[in-house]
Structure 1
Amino acid sequence: MTALADQPLSPLDGRYRAATAPLSEHLSEAALNRARVRVEVEWLIALTDAGVAGTAPLPDAQRSALRDVVATFGADQVAQLAAHEAVTRHDVKAVEYFLRDRLEALGLSRLSELVHFACTSEDVNNLAVALTVRSAVREVWLPALDVVVDRLRELALRWADAPMLARTHGQAATPTTMGKELAVFVHRLTRLRARIDAVEVTGKANGASGDFAAHVVAAPGTDWQALARGFVEGLGLVWNPLTTQIESHDWQVELYGRLAHVGGVLHNLCTDVWMYIAEGYLTQVPQAGATGSSTMPHKVNPIRFENAEANLELADGLLTTLSRTLVTSRWQRDLTDSTTQRNVGVALGHGLVALDNLARGLREIDLDRDRLLADLDANQEVLGEAVQTVVRAEIVAGRSAATNPYELVKALTRGRRVTAERMREFVAGLGLDAAAAQRLADLTPASYTGLAQQQVEHIR
């Protein structure tokens, strides 16, 4: 082994550590173990509250002392757990023995046999994973998304009136505004964010095959379904009443699918902004001391959006794999879900790196309105749609004798550039009444944006 053996293997724990560090509080191995301890503590309290095995509800002081084991969980406790696992070779059993030690220190050793009572490891793990993933998404990932959406909203409102040539199929098309195009992303992401927040995070506590078999034999007088439901709901989760040994993970499949969907929209944003920069519509604000190219000093590369694009692709690959794997379990149990779930933090980590880069990139761009106007002025032919549509309306109203206006405009504009003067001459020769002719005479590509500016108001 060399001196490099202790260096981070993943860029998430190396180069990108500053961006991903907040996830460690939720999705690291230590955070998972803290959640496991919490589940075991709350299960013990729930058992005593129900009087299982002749117990009685614990006094408030003892409840607080048990919950303090979770609240004070830190580096020392991580080391103690590691020492137990070195012997047990089983992570959840190590948590059980760790908590037994705490009970003895608190003078509650009489309750030791109720630690992990009637539980299979998945009873603890499914709840711990639910708690940690939910908190990571709500407290880290979604707030990072909100930063991006808020910045997008700010730019969309600022540039709502900035006319821009649209590029349907990559070709010059009916103008829009830069603000309206960014507002589309704000609207999409806001809607999808709500769908992420609405995912019901479920949990179970029903034993080795999901049937409460050991529970009923050990304490037949207990209403185990009611106890389990109250316990799971007491953790802030939704009770799943029908499972095999594992909680079915459908909430995770749903969540990761929705996170991947948001990632897809963000990827679309990255590529659009990248192309707007390439077209010169958006400019990048140089950062002091930064280098764009190792050989071309003039360059300001759109690296924030390229980095975000790549990390979104990595996140999507992992989230898709998680969804595909977690939806299935052979018969009552296999362990494919166990190792797969250890990579949730990696998936969210790549997404978080992308969100960090997007937020920074969106703070470092500005709009070149002159470039937008120049491009619009050079594409007068986009007014052809307006002309043929007005003429069609005039024909229906009986104010024009023209025939097949679409073909007339097509002959003038398709596949060729048309000057503003030529367009005005064409309109003047259509024999329209004064009001329609004046409307078209006053129209320019920059003013031909319909209700784009007003539509941006939907995102306020």
Structure 2
Amino acid sequence: MDSYQTPLSSRYASKEMSKLFSNATRFGTWRQLWLSLAIAEKELGLAISDKAIEQMRANLELDEAQMKVAAEEEKKRRHDVMAHVHTFGTVAPEAAGIIHLGATSCYVTDNADLIFLRQGLSLLLPKLAIVISRLTTFAERYRDLPTLGFTHFQPAQLTTVGKRATLWIQELLWDLRNLERAKNDLGFRGVKGTTGTQASFLALFEGDHDKVEQLDERVTELSGFPYAYPVTGQTYSRKIDADVLGPLSSFGATVHKICTDIRLLANLKEIEEPFEKDQIGSSAMAYKRNPMRCERACSLARHLMSIYQNTVMTSSVQWLERTLDDSANRRVTIPEAFLTADILLSTLQNISEGMVVYPKVIGRRISQELPFMATENVIMAMVKAGGDRQVCHEKIRVLSHQAGAVVKEQGGENDLIERIKADSYFEPIWSQLEALLDPSTFIGRAPQQVDKFVRDWVQPALKPYAEDLKHIQSAELSV
């Protein structure tokens, strides 16, 4: 109550993502890395006892008492890694003399960060697949519901509600691809020493280069990575952070676009985000149904997009083998990027599960604009009935301007069709007017595009997440 807590973890983010970037997970991962190093060093001939390995393995998790010991040690030594080396040694005394043997601080800090990047992406990817699946259900449901299209937010040709949703889904599919690539590209820093030369390990193994390489490979294998970066300085290149947070930032742009579209449509009363029975939209205006979820998503999406700039700036100023002005920055940017992306996914899932469509409002707006769009069809029908194209065009032009004046200057309804019906020139096609104004004839291949897109693009992309999709739970949001 008396100190600042980030709303990202205290208010919004999932328990699993918050736990991933917790101190308990971080320091427990350090211990696992020290255990992997000791196992590999023992396998390659260093004098490390079985009991030391056993004690390390039995004490990978820190309890509250050990966290307090580590905090006191850090306050005294001003070095977080050495504080935890000492604390680990108190519960694994047989290993106290070999913990961190030959390693530099970045052995645990950097390798742990790469583990967190990979695990964070592993948490996000199924959630993104679920959002895509939810929106796909929506797109299929409304595949053939005509709606007014907008370019420049001005009325344009018709599309369908489902086809519009495929535009959102396609960008999310690209985000899925980008995050998968980022995860699959991730390597391990491995065992590289203080400036990346592996000099300390070469000394430990008495000049045996093969054993040093085997050590690097074995620790990488024990940590579950397919490969280690072939060369590093003291740290892994901070460009890797940019390679991961770049796709996260791009995902933020996707969310902002989707939720802005929904906010615009909510203003038109065509589509709304979910609204709970007892939810209050405004403290003053009781009738309001503000798009609060979409507004939250846009707000946090901007934050996610801005974080990326930190990673490229940090990458650009890493002097030579390393400098420490990356550390405090990365402690903030990496967790916040993943926590924010996690929140956006749960919010977007919640929105996609409860979007409300108002077909009658959509139909009314179509009826206000469609007469103008149908004029070309009217002209062609008249020509087929024996009329002169130029004469018909002039009559339609005059009647359209008259109807437009009623709409814009008098605030009336679009009466173009009534004017056409009142003009005997158009009598040969009066019986065709209803068919000429059928909205379904103005949507082109939108329904078929939805079907083909889902079949050829969405379903293959979601196939690796089939098990996750079987166990979908509704996303409930914090206030």
- Interval containing the TM-score (normalised by the shorter chain): 0.7 to 0.9
Structure 1 residue corresponding to 2:234, chosen from 241, 245, 248: 245
Bigger drift between 253-262 and 192-201 goes to 192-201
Bigger drift between 186-195 and 262-271 goes to 186-195
3-state SS, counterpart of residue 356 of structure 2 = strand
Q: CA deviation at 1:24?
A: 2.5
2:146, 2:440 within 8 Å by CA — same for their partners in 1?
yes
2:248, 2:304 within 8 Å by CA — same for their partners in 1?
no
2:24, 2:62 within 8 Å by CA — same for their partners in 1?
no
Q: CA deviation at 1:407?
A: 10
Q: CA deviation at 1:259?
A: 0.6
> What residue number does 1:363 align with?
353
> What residue number does 2:199 align with?
213
1:12, 1:20 within 8 Å by CA — same for their partners in 2?
no
2:207 matches 1:227:
no
C-alpha distance in 2 between matches for 1:44 and 1:136: 26
Seen in structure 2, the aligned counterparts of structure 1 residues 211 and 423 have a Cα distance that, compared at 3 Å, is farther
3-state SS, counterpart of residue 175 of structure 1 = strand
2:99 matches 1:115:
yes
> What residue number does 1:131 align with?
115
> Per-residue displacement from partner, 1:191-232 (whole Å, max 9, x unpaired)?
321220221122222111111122223321242123213322
C-alpha distance in 2 between matches for 1:406 and 1:8: 69
Q: CA deviation at 1:156?
A: 1.4
Seen in structure 2, the aligned counterparts of structure 1 residues 283 and 99 have a Cα distance that, compared at 3 Å, is closer
C-alpha distance in 1 between matches for 2:200 and 2:275: 66
**Normalised TM-score (structure 2):** 0.79
3-state SS, counterpart of residue 92 of structure 2 = helix
Bigger drift between 298-307 and 21-30 goes to 21-30
C-alpha distance in 2 between matches for 1:241 and 1:407: 74
Structure 2 residue corresponding to 1:146, chosen from 113, 116, 129: 129
3-state SS, counterpart of residue 69 of structure 1 = coil
Structure 1 residue corresponding to 2:7, chosen from 2, 6, 11: 11
**What amino acid maps onto 1:115 in structure 2?**
I
2:22 matches 1:22:
no
> What residue number does 1:75 align with?
64
2:249, 2:305 within 8 Å by CA — same for their partners in 1?
yes
2:70 matches 1:38:
no
> What residue number does 1:87 align with?
76
Q: CA deviation at 1:254?
A: 0.9
**What amino acid maps onto 1:221 in structure 2?**
D
Seen in structure 2, the aligned counterparts of structure 1 residues 131 and 284 have a Cα distance that, compared at 3 Å, is closer
> Per-residue displacement from partner, 1:254-303 (whole Å, max 9, x unpaired)?
11000110110011001000011110101455423221111111111111
**What amino acid maps onto 1:201 in structure 2?**
L
> Per-residue displacement from partner, 1:394-431 (whole Å, max 9, x unpaired)?
99xxx99968x9999888869946724667999x97x9
3-state SS, counterpart of residue 203 of structure 1 = coil
C-alpha distance in 2 between matches for 1:246 and 1:408: 75
Residue correspondences, number: 433
Seen in structure 2, the aligned counterparts of structure 1 residues 409 and 118 have a Cα distance that, compared at 3 Å, is farther
Bigger drift between 259-268 and 447-456 goes to 447-456
3-state SS, counterpart of residue 156 of structure 2 = strand
CA RMSD of aligned residues (A): 3.5
Q: CA deviation at 1:115?
A: 1.9
3-state SS, counterpart of residue 58 of structure 2 = helix
Bigger drift between 237-246 and 266-275 goes to 237-246
3-state SS, counterpart of residue 282 of structure 2 = coil
Structure 1 residue corresponding to 2:85, chosen from 81, 90, 96: 96
**What amino acid maps onto 2:219 in structure 1?**
F
Bigger drift between 95-104 and 198-207 goes to 95-104
Structure 2 residue corresponding to 1:346, chosen from 315, 336, 344: 336
Task: Point out where structure 2 has 5 or more consecutive residues left out of the alignment.
Answer: 405-413, 460-479
**Normalised TM-score (structure 1):** 0.82
Bigger drift between 182-191 and 230-239 goes to 230-239
Seen in structure 2, the aligned counterparts of structure 1 residues 424 and 103 have a Cα distance that, compared at 3 Å, is farther
Bigger drift between 407-416 and 442-451 goes to 407-416
Task: Point out where structure 1 has 5 or more consecutive residues left out of the alignment.
Answer: none
C-alpha distance in 1 between matches for 2:438 and 2:201: 78
3-state SS, counterpart of residue 230 of structure 1 = helix
> What residue number does 2:247 align with?
258
Q: CA deviation at 1:74?
A: 3.9
Identical aligned pairs, as a percentage? 22
Structure 1 residue corresponding to 2:289, chosen from 286, 296, 300: 300
Q: CA deviation at 1:446?
A: 4.0
3-state SS, counterpart of residue 165 of structure 1 = strand
2:273, 2:294 within 8 Å by CA — same for their partners in 1?
no
**What amino acid maps onto 2:340 in structure 1?**
H
2:187 matches 1:202:
yes
